[in-house]
Structure 1
Amino acid sequence: MTEPIRRSRRLVKDEDLEDGPSTSKYFPENRHVESEPAILSHVRSKRNSSDSPTKPHKRVKLEDTSHDRSASSPLTDLEELPPHLRLQSIPIKVETALSTTPKSKKPVVKLKLEKPHRAPENWEKQWDLILRMRAKIIAPVDTLGCDTTPNGERTSDPKIVRFHVLISLILSSQTRDPVTSQAVTNLHERLSGGLTAASLATAPSDLVAECISKVGFWRRKTEYIQEAARAIVEGGLDDGEDLPEGWEGRDLTGVDPDGRPGDIPMTLGGLCKLKGVGPKMAFLTLQCAWNINAGVGVDTHVHRVTNRLSWHKPKTTDPEQTRLNLQSWLPRHLFKPINHVLVGFGQVVCLPVGPRCDVCLLAKEKICPVRVTNGNYKARKDIGVSFEEEDEATVKAEPKLEIELETTVKAEPELEI
């Protein structure tokens, strides 16, 4: 009996070969393969290139998944196989290369966690201090956010206003607010009839691309916004979708929930059918365009700031998890303002690199877990405001009050005399 050969083995599945599966667990030694599979030919051509190092021969285990795995059959030595199967190495997984991934459906937006995240400690005090700082800050999001209009002009048509909000949000991904605002203004000025769903749907792609060429991923977004415009003109995006929680109390006079050709969707499912629109943009669109408070819009600033404040334990790794955590404990009336407040705070004070802990009230109160106390802030740009002005004024006023009280006390005995 021949001693079993114990060498490194490499699997090649039957379905990788054109002539179908074998009748035994492994290909028999005398198996004849008529033609060379395309993938093996491609791999061999890559292997034979000048920059690919050669490796020693290996034995090949040929597997037939249609046969009982408990059956045993001999291994075939690589040198005994037909020449076209004598591969020195296979640098990629054949089954991965040959597999076809079906088109994935649009993911359903998850609205809540199965187990709610607990409210973080001191979050209310942290929120109040951030509100105090935001009251003195004029951040880019305040003047150039998604709810601003091209050139500051407000049209009387609410459909067009809502469409501007949606286009601004799609363009805002990976783009600074001033660049996004200028791109929307360019579209409004250069498209025939201004920036509407109809004008954008029929505009030449070259013109649209030129108008938004400064935004991040402008080529892809050119396709996104034009496809979105065509879908909005056709209508029916909200068909079969439920109105989101929070629409109660909205004035829907003149609005047909069953289909509004020319108007943006007013449901989460309808908005997420559009290319380039994810949960964050969908929630922000509902808030800014329809005044529907259905959830928290989490962008990079909200994700970063809330993790720095330890509002998530453990820390979240993506904005979707951040959103679900916040929605599980944050009071509902804060779902809308939290994005605007934290974005402005993150743009001016809690910067991605080099946060201004020297002026931040959270650092002074020592309730920020990641505050930096020994940073070099002298060379950094002055943010132009001081958050301690009110406190200093109060401190200066207190001695005056004490002096007045002392004067009154001294005067009383004189009156008695």
Structure 2
Amino acid sequence: MGYTLPVTDRQRSLELCQAVLGLFPAAACELDYRTPWELLVATILSAQSTDIRVNTVTPELFRRWPTPHALARAPLEELEDVVRATGLYRNKARAIRECARIVVSRHGGEVPRDLDAMLELPGVGRKTANVVLGEAYGIPAGIAVDTHVRRVSRRLGLTTETAPERIEANLEALVAREWWHSFSLRLVLLGRRICTARRPACDTCSLSGRCPKVGLP
């Protein structure tokens, strides 16, 4: 899976990855959560939404249904109303309720610590599983690839792929496993704060001098 970089390009990519890991010393997940379960639900809700928007919804959500056991019994229409602001609310409400039911019935109410088990949960793909395992449990299951990671890694020339799974594989070949979660967090912050989709602030970016700026004028 993925591609093989020429030696000179690989060395440049390795150096860029090390530089990325030096950014944002206080980098942290920007979703508000107190437990692995809350992080899992918040991450599902963040699909095609923003962390800021999700953080306005989850306090009421977890006030009304604080545990997987409670959420598994939530009336669907009420749940839809609570998560409406995150978009795609009908699909998300069904997904988190069914996810709660499976977490209760198969995992005793605890979010599983295994990637394969995570991927069996409704609403959970590799990105969500990697985020939860890395953030909540410190398990480096993989590099979480969202829209920011995809955009920034391509601009940096770290991958030429477009499919998240292939981007993930390319990045994991460049970064030591124990740094996968930290690396993803920093690419996300870089994409949100500097390397934005429409007007990247290249003049303020500390990577600008060695970034190939792929796809930019």
Q: Which runs of 4+ in 1 moved over 3 A?
A: 115-119, 127-133, 371-374
Question: Which has the larger share of helix?
Answer: 2
CA RMSD across the alignment: 2.4
Q: Which of residues 109, 112, 125 is equivalent to 2:15?
A: 125
After superposition, the C-alpha distances for 1:246-287 in whole angstroms (9 at most, x for unaligned) are xxxxxxxxxxxxxx3111222222111112111111122211
Structure 1 residue 330, shift from structure 2 partner: 2.1
User: For residues 191-218 of structure 1, what are the alpha-carbon distances to aligned partners after superposition, in whole Å with 9 as ceiling and x for unaligned?
Assistant: 1xx4210111111112211111111211
Where does structure 2 lack aligned partners over 5 or more consecutive residues?
none
Among 130, 141, 165, the residue aligned to 1:320: 165
Question: Is 1:199 matched with 2:44?
Answer: no
Kept in 2, the 8 Å contact 1:197–1:233? The answer is yes
Unaligned 5+ segments in structure 1 are 1-112, 155-160, 236-259, 375-417
Match of 1:166 in 2: 40
Q: Distance in 2 between matches of 1:329 and 1:361?
A: 20
Q: How far has the Cα of 1:134 moved from its partner? A: 2.1
- Alignment partner of 2:188 out of 343, 358, 382: 343
Task: Give the alignment's TM-score, normalised by structure 1.
Answer: 0.48
Give the secondary-structure state (helix, strand or coil) at the position aligned to 2:202.
Answer: coil
Among 195, 202, 211, the alignment partner of 1:368 is: 211
Aligned position for 1:234: 105
Q: Secondary structure of 1:325's partner?
A: helix
**2:117 corresponds to which letter in structure 1?**
G
* Alpha-carbon spacing, 1:206–1:373, altered in 2? closer, same or farther (3 Å): closer
Q: Distance in 2 between matches of 1:324 and 1:372?
A: 21
Q: Does structure 1 retain, via aligned residues, the 8 Å contact 2:44–2:123?
A: yes
- The structural deviation recorded for 1:223 is 0.4
Report matched runs for 1:4-403 at 5 Å: 113=1, 117-118=4-5, 120-135=10-25, 142=28, 144-145=30-31, 148-149=32-33, 154=34, 161-189=35-63, 191=64, 194-235=65-106, 260-312=107-159, 315-363=160-208, 365=209, 367-370=210-213
CA distance in 1, matches of 2:215, 2:115: 40
Contact 2:41-2:96 at 8 Å conserved across structures: yes
Residues 156 and 214, structure 2, Cα contact 8 Å, conserved in 1: no
Name the TM-score, length of structure 2 as normaliser.
Answer: 0.88
Query: Do the aligned partners of residues 295 and 200 (structure 1) sit closer, same or farther apart at CA in structure 2, a change above 3 Å counting?
Result: same
Identity of aligned residues (%): 29
Q: CA deviation at 1:123?
A: 2.6
Higher deviation after alignment, 293-302 or 339-348: 293-302
SS of residue paired to 1:336: helix
Call closer, same or farther: CA 1:270–1:130 in 2, change over 3 Å.
closer
Residue 167 (structure 1) shift = 0.5
Segment drifting more, 333-342 vs 218-227:
333-342
Distance 1:167 1:173, change over 3 A: same
CA shift at 1:143, angstroms? 6.4
Return the offset for 1:130. 3.6
2:97 corresponds to which letter in structure 1? Q
Offset from partner CA, 1:263-313 (integer Å, 9 cap, x none):
12222221111121111111222112222112211111111111001112x
Cα 1:291–1:143 shift into 2, 3 Å = closer
Partner of 1:69: none
Q: Find the aligned partners of 1:357 and 1:372 in 2 and give their Cα distance.
A: 13
Q: What whole-Å deviation, never above 9, does each CA across 1:127-180 have from its counterpart, x for those lacking one?
A: 344445424xx8xx84632xx32xxxx4xxxxxx11111101111111111111
Number of residue pairs matched?
214
Rg larger for: 1
Kept after mapping to 1: 8 A contact 2:71/2:97: yes
Tell me the distance in 2 between the aligned counterparts of 1:287 and 1:205: 30
Q: Residues of 2 paired with 1:165 and 1:117: CA distance?
A: 35
